Chains A and B, each alone.
Chain A
Amino acid sequence: MAYEALDFYDVDSLLSEEERMVRDMVRDWVDEEVIPNIENACREGLFPDEWRVALGEMGVLGAPLKGYGCPGLSYAAYGVICRELERGDSGLRSFASVQGSLAMYPIWDFGSEEQKNHYLPKMASGEWIGCFGLTEPDYGSNPGDMITKAEDKGDHYLINGAKMWITNGTIAEVAVVWAKLDGVIRGFIIEKNDPGFSAPEMKGKHSLKASVTSELVFQDCKIPKDRMLPGVKGLRGPFSCLNNARFGISWGALGSAQACFDSAKEYAMSRIQFNHPIASYQLVQNKLAWMLREITKGQLLAYHLAQKKDAGTWIPEHISLAKMNNVDIALEIARVARDIHGANGILDEYPIMRHMANLESVKTYEGTHDIHNLIIGRHITGIQAFTREA
């Protein structure tokens, strides 16, 4: 049955026809190929390779990037793609976010012409999967203190260190890894078969089960000199990637929220207790009304942010606000939806617990909820509160 999205304020009518066509394409694919198979993928803990192929064929990877075989869509289209994918599963959206915003984007923005021509077309087509290595076992919210380092050995670089929590790591052909060269953070392109590089998978996740998460281990990993991204130094590199990915999450989370709302609404209408559908009770209606209210606000936030992205009038704090808010409400909506489903809510028959568990990761990655609070707090007060040191 064709999916009719909750769009109380007709926000999607503000999209261009092209953006809506992209939406429908992804939406139909998610309905036909993802939703029927997602529980199985989660149970087996794998990211189905057909999904990589399909995303490449649809041509949505690296959505807002132009040239080098990339789609060249608007940020609004990118947002819509994320939303539709995440209605299926946050793990699927994570795959696309990492590929497009975290792996392709730095090559596109900071790479040499040769690097762009070599990597981007194959990544846009889905042939090569990319990953992004910033977080380390001991450095999460403060990546600036990372210890992974690169040494200039004349005709090559030598990388040593370890990254953790790296989405797509084990299945990636290409890793964009941030490491310190003479104390300055630089981006390096590591290929799967580079000597001294390995990417063991992390097992046992209760969240994003259909997404591959890995460690990246560098033991005297030797790479040619032309693998450093020439165009950026310092934290600006990884942070500009994160801005794009966070933007996508601010839309994506709404997809999860909608899936939970849809399921809760349907359940409430059909579940009879005390002789009447539970949807007929005020307390339940209050919950549904609250969900609709938050989703609608989130949609307006996300849409306006996309306009600012496309117009170039955004600042990172705008993105922090949207990421923080929309993930927060999505998670709360998942919890309320679970409540409405009663015991059924804990079953994998319903998408609720899966979205809820996924959103716990989404709340943490790409800057935790509170880190975004601190970013906005700094914007308001002019005082940074990340650390006691100046």
Chain B
Amino acid sequence: MMNFTIIAETNGENLHPTTYQLIGAASSIGSKSIVICPNGKAESEAASIEGVEKVISVVGDCFDIFDGGAWSTALNTVCEGKILISASPNGREIGARLAAKRNIPIIQDIVSISEGIIVKRPIYSGKAVETLTVSGDAVITLRPNAFEAAELGGAAPINTVNQSADIKISIQEAINKASERLDVTEADIIISGGRGMGTIENFSHLEDIADIVDAAVGASRAVVDEWGMPHRMQVGQTGKTVTPSLYIAVGISGAIQHLAGMRSSKYILAINKDPDAPIFGVADYGIVATWEEAIPALKSALSELKS
């Protein structure tokens, strides 16, 4: 049976949910996982996941700050064969470094894996999907949340290896800033409100959601024209054309001019109290409810997810 080397990613002191997904992906094609925990973080959590054969904790000073070069040098000493990492920014960087070090290919951001090994990854921002066969060693990064997570239930041994590397990046200054609200044309998630929001003040509820998922806030023309919302927030034919991964329309009827600006969004969630509102015609997910009921529920579901 084939093993995968998995590089764990943590979220504070715990494993990041994507680590469970990496292990789940390996199990889904009948493989065991050897999980590498940088600096030994969350090693016992990793050892208790089903499908994990062994945990290797790589302990060294270099893990104090992120330097992909140092991390990959230290981790490389214990990597073997096929390597799975999360396609997070750090995961991609470590993955690319490991692949170059080992002179093996790297496939980033796959969304499916099957025996063979056959993987799929979206290309051209999702306008096409590519299928690749991997016949030897490779580094593969997995898109977060695209794979079934492995369950707890295991007791793998933990080996600890002391291995550090030179850090070449030094931090001069940490700048804590509330992340600025993104512009609708840049954001990956947009939450837009329409006349159904009742008043411009009620947009603060949409802002709350935007804070949780790092979204931009948009508006229908009605809101811009009648309530004085800035024009740069207007989505539609005479506003911005947007193509986020997720567009959330709240209290927007879905007039053709509004649809012109957002119908190419990858996913659309509509919240509207009128079951016949045309916005439901383009929505992937529709919730027939007033925003007063739906938004607080959305807020708590999202914060739970993000915590």
A and B touch in the complex (CB under 8 A): yes
Instruction: Give the B-binding residues of A (Cβ under 8 A).
Output: 1, 270-272, 349
Residue contact A271 to B241, C-beta cutoff 8 Å: no
Question: B29: CB under 8 A from chain A?
Answer: no
Residue contact A272 to B241, C-beta cutoff 8 Å: no
**B235-271 toward A: CB 8 Å interface, digit per residue (1/0)?**
0011001000000000000001000100000000000
A51 to chain B, nearest CB (A): 20
- 7 residue pairs from A and B, CB less than 8 Å apart: A1-B241, A270-B256, A270-B260, A271-B256, A272-B256, A349-B237, A349-B238
Number of interface residues of B (CB under 8 A): 5
A270 CA / B257 CA spacing, docked (Å): 9
Residue numbers in A under 8 Å from B237 (CB-CB): 349
B198 to chain A, nearest CB (A): 26
Interface SS, B side:
loop
A68 CA / B241 CA spacing, docked (Å): 43
In the complex, how many residue pairs between chain A and chain B have their CB atoms under 8 Å apart?
7
A254 CA / B256 CA spacing, docked (Å): 29
Residue on B nearest A272 in the bound complex, by CB: B256
Residue numbers in B under 8 Å from A1 (CB-CB): 241
Residue numbers in B under 8 Å from A272 (CB-CB): 256
Residue numbers in A under 8 Å from B256 (CB-CB): 270-272
A349 CA / B256 CA spacing, docked (Å): 15
A272 CA / B260 CA spacing, docked (Å): 13
Residue numbers in B under 8 Å from A270 (CB-CB): 256, 260
**B57-76 toward A: CB 8 Å interface, digit per residue (1/0)?**
00000000000000000000
A140 to chain B, nearest CB (A): 38
B92 to chain A, nearest CB (A): 27
Residue numbers in A under 8 Å from B260 (CB-CB): 270
A270 CA / B259 CA spacing, docked (Å): 10
A66 to chain B, nearest CB (A): 41
A270 to chain B, nearest CB (A): 5
B residues 186-239 in Cβ contact with A at 8 Å: 237-238
Residue numbers in B under 8 Å from A349 (CB-CB): 237-238
Residue on A nearest B231 in the bound complex, by CB: A36
A260 CA / B260 CA spacing, docked (Å): 18
A170 to chain B, nearest CB (A): 30
A36 to chain B, nearest CB (A): 10
A270 CA / B261 CA spacing, docked (Å): 12
Residue on B nearest A270 in the bound complex, by CB: B256
Residue on A nearest B260 in the bound complex, by CB: A270
A54 CA / B61 CA spacing, docked (Å): 53
A271 CA / B256 CA spacing, docked (Å): 8
A237 to chain B, nearest CB (A): 46
Residue numbers in A under 8 Å from B238 (CB-CB): 349
The 5 closest A-B pairs by CB, nearest first: A349-B238, A270-B256, A1-B241, A270-B260, A272-B256
A38 CA / B238 CA spacing, docked (Å): 13
A272 CA / B257 CA spacing, docked (Å): 12
A277 to chain B, nearest CB (A): 10
Residue numbers in A under 8 Å from B241 (CB-CB): 1
B125 to chain A, nearest CB (A): 14
A1 CA / B240 CA spacing, docked (Å): 10
A149 CA / B238 CA spacing, docked (Å): 51
**B12-47 toward A: CB 8 Å interface, digit per residue (1/0)?**
000000000000000000000000000000000000
Residue numbers in B under 8 Å from A271 (CB-CB): 256
B185 to chain A, nearest CB (A): 10
Residue on A nearest B221 in the bound complex, by CB: A349
Residue on A nearest B241 in the bound complex, by CB: A1
A1 CA / B256 CA spacing, docked (Å): 19
A1 CA / B260 CA spacing, docked (Å): 13
Residue on B nearest A267 in the bound complex, by CB: B237
Give the residue among A1, A270, A271 with the most B Cβ atoms within 10 A. A270
B254 to chain A, nearest CB (A): 13
A1 CA / B237 CA spacing, docked (Å): 12
A271 CA / B257 CA spacing, docked (Å): 9
A70 CA / B77 CA spacing, docked (Å): 63
B100 to chain A, nearest CB (A): 34
B244 to chain A, nearest CB (A): 15
Residue on B nearest A349 in the bound complex, by CB: B238
B276 to chain A, nearest CB (A): 16
B253 to chain A, nearest CB (A): 15
Residue on A nearest B243 in the bound complex, by CB: A1
Residue on A nearest B238 in the bound complex, by CB: A349
A371 to chain B, nearest CB (A): 39
A84 to chain B, nearest CB (A): 21
A271 CA / B260 CA spacing, docked (Å): 11
A316 CA / B256 CA spacing, docked (Å): 48
A272 CA / B241 CA spacing, docked (Å): 20
